[in-house]
Amino acid sequence: MKLNINGQIIDKHAVWWDEEINKVKLIDQTKIPFVVEILTCNTYRDTADAIKNMNIRGAPAIGAAAAYGFVQAIWEFWGDKDYESKLKYAYKTLLAARPTAIDLKNGLDYIQSFFPIDPENALKKAKRLADEIAAEGKKIGQIGKELIHDEMNILTHCHTGALALVDFGSAIAPIIAAWEDGKQFHVYVDETRPRIQGRMTAWELYQYKINHTVICDSVSGYLMSKGKIDMVILGADRVVQNGDIANKIGTYNIAVLAKHHQVPFYTAFPKSTYDPRTKSGKDIKIETRSNEEITHVIGYSSEEKRLTRIELYGSGSKFYNPAFDVTPADLITGYITPYGILTSSQELKTFFQPRTE
- DSSP symbols for 54-88: TSS-SHHHHHHHHHHHHHHHHHHHTT-TTHHHHHH
More confident residue, 305 or 39: 39
44 and 192 part of one domain = no
Is 142 inside a domain boundary?
no
Can you tell me the mean pLDDT for 187-194?
97
Burial class of residue 34, CB neighbours in 10 A (0-12, 13-18, 19+):
middle
pLDDT of residue 349 exceeding 90, the answer is no
**For the segment 107-145, what is each residue's pLDDT rounded down to a tens digit?**
999 999 999 899 999 999 999 999 999 999 999 999 999
- CATH code assigned at 87: 1.20.120.420
The confidence score (pLDDT) of residue 12 equals 76
Query: What is the residue range of 161's domain?
Result: 147-351
The confidence score (pLDDT) of residue 3 equals 64
3-state secondary structure of 19: coil
3-state secondary structure of 189: strand
Percent of the chain clearing pLDDT 70 (strictly above): 96
262 and 342 part of one domain = yes
Strand-strand pairing, 186-190 and 212-215: parallel
Note whether 52 and 93 are within 8 A (CB): no
DSSP 8-state secondary structure symbol assigned to residue 285: P
16 and 123 part of one domain = yes
Is 87 inside a domain boundary?
yes
Is 230 inside a domain boundary?
yes
Give me the amino acid identity at 295.
T
pLDDT of residue 8 exceeding 80, the answer is no
Residues 6+ apart with CB under 8 A from 22: 75
3-state secondary structure 200-259: HHHHHHHHCCCCEEEECHHHHHHHHHCCCCCEEEECCCEEECCCCEEEECCHHHHHHHHH
Domain boundary pick from 119, 137, 155: 137
Give me the amino acid identity at 135.
A
94 and 191 part of one domain = no
How many angstroms separate the CA atoms of 66 and 106, rounded? 9
How many angstroms separate the CA atoms of 180 and 148, rounded? 12
Q: pLDDT class for 9, splitting at 50, 70, 90?
A: low
For residue 292, what are the CA distances in angstroms to 194, 319, 320? 9, 9, 10
Can you tell me the mean pLDDT for 307-323?
92
Q: pLDDT class for 357, splitting at 50, 70, 90?
A: low
- CATH code assigned at 330: 3.40.50.10470
The confidence score (pLDDT) of residue 296 equals 94
Domain boundary pick from 137, 163, 192: 137
- Tally of domains in the chain: 2
- 215 forms beta bridges with 190
Catalytic residue among 167, 237, 275, 325: 237
Can you tell me the mean pLDDT for 166-187?
94
Whether 237 is catalytic is yes
Percent of the chain clearing pLDDT 90 (strictly above): 79
105 and 178 part of one domain = no
Can you tell me the mean pLDDT for 41-55?
96
Can you tell me the mean pLDDT for 282-310?
92
Q: What is the mean pLDDT of the chain?
A: 93
Contacts by 299-304 with C-beta closer than 8 Å and gap 24+?
299/34, 300/34
pLDDT of residue 202 exceeding 90, the answer is yes
Note whether 63 and 126 are within 8 A (CB): no
**For the segment 236-265, what is each residue's pLDDT rounded down to a tens digit?**
999 999 999 999 999 999 999 999 999 999
Residues 6+ apart with CB under 8 A from 84: none
Is 196 inside a domain boundary?
yes
Count the Cβ atoms, other than its own, within 10 Å of residue 162. Answer: 28
Q: Cα-flanking dihedrals φ and ψ of residue 81, to 5°?
A: -65, -25
131 and 224 part of one domain = no
Can you tell me the mean pLDDT for 259-286?
95
Is 104 inside a domain boundary?
yes
Is 127 inside a domain boundary?
yes
125 and 183 part of one domain = no
pLDDT of residue 175 exceeding 80, the answer is yes
162 and 284 part of one domain = yes
343 and 224 part of one domain = yes
Measured torsion, CA atoms of residues 240, 171, 197, 323, in degrees rounded to the nearest 10: -10
The confidence score (pLDDT) of residue 315 equals 80
| E strand spans, the chain | 2-5, 8-11, 15-18, 23-27, 38-41, 153-156, 186-190, 212-215, 231-234, 238-240, 245-248, 265-268, 274-275, 296-301, 306-311, 324-327, 334-337, 340-342
pLDDT of residue 168 exceeding 80, the answer is yes
Can you tell me the mean pLDDT for 89-96?
96
pLDDT of residue 223 exceeding 90, the answer is yes
Is 356 inside a domain boundary?
no
Is 342 inside a domain boundary?
yes
Q: Give the number of C-alpha atoms closer than 13 A to the C-alpha of residue 117, restricted to the C-beta side.
A: 20
Can you tell me the mean pLDDT for 202-225?
95
Measured torsion, CA atoms of residues 154, 216, 246, 38, in degrees rounded to the nearest 10: 90
Q: Cα-flanking dihedrals φ and ψ of residue 265, to 5°?
A: -125, 115
pLDDT of residue 314 exceeding 90, the answer is no
58 and 207 part of one domain = no
Domain boundary pick from 85, 116, 137: 137
101 and 161 part of one domain = no
159 and 105 part of one domain = no
